[in-house]
């Protein structure tokens, strides 16, 4: 680990400034699930300082890397820290400096840059899900109130770009088609940011490879420009999934502010709900009791408000982190499963509803899960 003095000061800033008050512990899902200080933001900050001070040997470094790596990047520690520290961001920067971190960033680069590799993984997931879609069926099956369609065709929506993300072309292709169908049915004119494996760069950012992330962001910006959207006026970018919309809103747009200052990022379910007048929806049949899982990267209340207006029978998960985040799902099965089980513990439900592709993949290990757009689609059919 060779660090310049400035790099070292930057990295060690959070651990030194942290007053060890422990507020972050009370909301950290990995601490709440294990009650082990090593898996709390405060504990990880102390470990990251130890790593940087090089007081640990190689074996200890691997153990510390693993403890930092079990952070799910749910952002709760950042939300509650009275000193506005961002512990999770410190962890990805620090672990990126280790031998294991270098391997991780190499794999992240391979994942994002190799379309073949990307295509292979997602095709495998696609086969696993065994779904076949007939888009025409949707046109016959659904009816959305004309009043609703007319009221939302207004020109105040400006340019609308729909970014389905890599999930929307693979495991969640059916859900992408439902979004596209409902947007059209609600009178929205949109263009699809269509390159199948165009990636927001989440794996690069979360592995701490900021240089490659910025390179990828440039490709993303060029793609938006090539779409023909008028960037001198307001552009609505509709993104499938909380994590990708968070990465674009909080990192890609600020990093490319001059070009993207008129771009407003919306998570797709939130945007869809904003178009639907829930007063005209009447649910005619009992769809069962469900558990609403709100993803940690999207704290919007809109889906919950929408569902409560429809008087559906649901409960909200009180453990917000399902265990998919960061590298957990792939590398730390035990912690990932523990968080998943905690999410649904002591609840009675027929199925789970979530708007995040990652959360749906994770929670499918434990129960039946439906994408929120699928639920809205079903409700719309019942009109
Ligand atoms: S809340 Fe902030 S200052 Fe307090 S222990 Fe956590 S990181 Fe440190
Ligand atoms: S991002 Fe979430 S899991 Fe990671 S340290 Fe913060 S609160 Fe804990």
Do 362 and 382 contact (CB within 8 A), yes or no?
no
Q: What is the pLDDT of residue 383?
A: 47
pTM, two decimals, is: 0.87
Query: Which residue's structure tokens are 């960037």?
Result: 231
C-beta atoms surrounding 34 within 10 Å: 17
Tokens, residue 185: 């049915």
> Residue length, the chain?
383
Tokens, residue 82: 């009275």
> So what CATH class is 5-97?
mainly alpha
Q: Choose which CATH entry (3.30.70, 2.60.40, 3.90.1750, 3.40.50) describes domain 114-274.
A: 3.40.50
Q: What is the pLDDT of residue 135?
A: 42
Centre of ligand 1 to C-alpha 80, Å, is 8
Do 319 and 339 contact (CB within 8 A), yes or no?
yes
Same topology, domains 114-274 and 280-381? Answer is yes
Q: What is the pLDDT of residue 107?
A: 87
Q: What is the pLDDT of residue 133?
A: 42
Instruction: Please state which CATH number belongs to domain 280-381.
Output: 3.40.50
Ligand 1 pocket residue status of 17, Cβ below 6 Å = no
Domain spans of the chain? 5-97, 114-274, 280-381
Tokens, residue 369: 């899960």
pLDDT digits (tens, 9 = 90+) for 286-338: 788 999 998 888 888 899 999 888 888 899 987 778 999 877 888 898 999 99
Sheet holding 235-239, edge to edge: 191-192, 159-163, 235-239, 263-267
The protein residue whose alpha carbon is closest to atom 3 in ligand 1 is: 18
The protein residue whose alpha carbon is closest to atom 2 in ligand 1 is: 81
Confidence category of residue 381, pLDDT binned at 50, 70, 90: low
For 202, half-sphere exposure in the C-beta direction (CA atoms, 13 angstrom radius) is: 21
CA distance 265 to 250: 10
Tokens, residue 271: 């945007």
Q: Which amino acids bring their CB within 6 angstroms of ligand 2?
A: 28-30, 41, 44, 71-77, 87-88
If you average pLDDT over residues 368-372, what whole number do you get?
93
Q: What is the pLDDT of residue 353?
A: 94
pLDDT digits (tens, 9 = 90+) for 228-255: 888 998 999 999 999 999 999 999 999 9
Do 278 and 307 contact (CB within 8 A), yes or no?
no
């Amino acid at each position: 680990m060779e660090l310049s003095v400035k790099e070292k000061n930057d990295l060690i800033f959070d651990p030194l400034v942290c007053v060890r008050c422990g507020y972050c512990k009370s909301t950290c899902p990995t601490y709440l699930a294990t009650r082990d200080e090593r898996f709390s933001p405060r504990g990880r900050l102390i470990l990251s300082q130890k790593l940087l001070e090089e007081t640990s040997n190689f074996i200890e470094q691997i153990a510390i890397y693993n403890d930092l790596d079990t952070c799910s990047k749910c952002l709760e520690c950042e939300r509650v820290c009275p000193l506005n520290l961002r512990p999770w961001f410190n962890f990805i920067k620090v672990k990126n400096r280790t031998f294991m971190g270098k391997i991780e960033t190499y794999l992240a680069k391979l994942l994002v840059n190799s379309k073949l590799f990307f295509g292979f993984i997602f095709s495998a997931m696609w086969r696993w899900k065994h779904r076949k879609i007939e888009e025409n069926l949707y046109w016959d099956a659904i009816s959305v109130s004309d009043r609703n369609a007319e009221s939302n065709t207004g020109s105040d929506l400006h340019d609308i770009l729909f970014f389905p993300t890599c999930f929307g072309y693979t495991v969640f292709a059916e859900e992408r088609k439902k979004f596209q169908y409902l947007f059209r049915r609600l009178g929205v004119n949109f263009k699809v940011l269509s390159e199948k494996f165009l990636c927001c760069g989440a794996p690069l950012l979360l592995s701490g490879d900021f240089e490659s992330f910025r390179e990828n962001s440039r490709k993303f910006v060029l793609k938006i420009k090539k779409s023909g959207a008028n960037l001198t006026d307001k552009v609505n970018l509709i993104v499938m999934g909380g994590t990708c919309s968070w990465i674009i809103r909080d990192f890609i747009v600020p990093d490319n502010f001059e070009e993207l200052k008129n771009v407003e990022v919306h998570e797709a379910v939130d945007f869809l709900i904003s178009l639907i007048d829930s007063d005209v929806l009447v649910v005619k049949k009992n769809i069962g009791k469900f558990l609403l899982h709100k993803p940690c990267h999207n704290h919007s209340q809109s889906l919950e408000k929408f569902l409560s207006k429809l008087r559906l029978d649901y409960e909200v998960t009180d453990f917000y982190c399902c265990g998919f985040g960061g590298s957990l799902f792939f590398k730390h099965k035990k912690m990932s499963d523990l968080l998943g089980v905690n999410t649904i513990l002591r609840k009675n439900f027929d199925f789970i509803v979530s708007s995040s592709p990652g959360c749906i993949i994770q929670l499918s290990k434990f129960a039946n899960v439906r994408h929120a757009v699928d639920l809205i689609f079903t409700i719309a059919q019942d009109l």
